[in-house]
Amino acid sequence: MSDLLSQRLALLAEPPHVSLLNQCLHGIERECLRVDTQGQLALTPHPAALGSTLTHPNITTDYSEALLEFITGTASDPAQTLQELEAIHRFTYAKLAGEYLWSPSMPCPLPDEAQIPIAEYGSSNIGRLKHVYRQGLAVRYGRAMQCIAGIHYNFSLPEALWPVLQAADGDDRSPQDYQSAQYLALIRNFRRYSWLLMYLFGASPALDAGFLRGRPHSLEQLDADTLYLPWATSLRMSDLGYQNNAQAGLTPCYDELRSYTESLHRAVTTPYPPYETIGTQRDGQWIQLNTNVLQIENEYYSSIRPKRVTRPGERPIRALQERGIQYVEVRCLDINPFLPLGIDLTESLFLDAFLVFCTLADSPLLTDGECGMSTDNFLTVVREGRRPGLTLQRRGEPVEMKTWAEALLGQIQQVAELLDRAGGDDLHRQAVIVQQAKVADPSLTPSAQLLEQLLENRESFSRFALRQSLGHAELFRRKPVVGDELAHFEALAQRSLQAQRDLEQQDSVDFDSFVRAYQDSLATPPSV
Contact (CB, 8 A) for 255 and 229: no
Neighbouring CB atoms inside 10 A of 79's CB total 12
Q: How many CA atoms lie within 13 A of 338 on its CB side?
A: 17
Is the residue at 433 inside a domain? Answer: no
* 106 vs 250, more confident: 106
pLDDT of residue 525: 55
For the segment 405-438, what is each residue's pLDDT rounded down to a tens digit?
999 999 999 999 999 999 899 999 999 999 999 9
For the segment 93-123, what is each residue's pLDDT rounded down to a tens digit?
999 989 999 999 999 999 999 999 999 999 9
Residue of 335, 319, 336 whose CA lies nearest to 327? 319
Count structural domains, the chain.
1
pLDDT of residue 385: 98
Burial of 440 (0-12, 13-18, 19+ CB in 10 A): exposed
Is the residue at 6 inside a domain? Answer: no
- DSSP class of residue 41? B
Residue of 207, 289, 267 whose CA lies nearest to 517? 289
Is the residue at 7 inside a domain? Answer: no
Is the residue at 364 inside a domain? Answer: yes
Mean pLDDT score, 483-512: 97
**Taking the complete model, does pTM exceed 0.75, yes or no?**
yes
Residue of 352, 350, 334, 355 whose CA lies nearest to 449? 334
Is the residue at 492 inside a domain? Answer: yes
pLDDT of residue 528: 42
Task: Please count the helices (runs of H) and the strands (runs of E) in the chain.
Answer: 17, 14
For residue 99, give the 3-state DSSP assignment: coil
- DSSP class of residue 298? G
Phi, psi values for residue 332, rounded to 5°: -100, 5
Contact (CB, 8 A) for 387 and 449: no
Is the residue at 16 inside a domain? Answer: no
For the segment 19-72, what is each residue's pLDDT rounded down to a tens digit?
999 999 999 999 999 999 999 999 999 999 999 999 999 999 999 999 999 999
Is the residue at 430 inside a domain? Answer: no
Is the residue at 13 inside a domain? Answer: no
For the segment 216-247, what is each residue's pLDDT rounded down to a tens digit?
889 999 999 999 999 999 999 998 855 457 88
For residue 227, the enclosing domain spans 24-398+445-520
CATH code (residue 341): 3.30.590.20
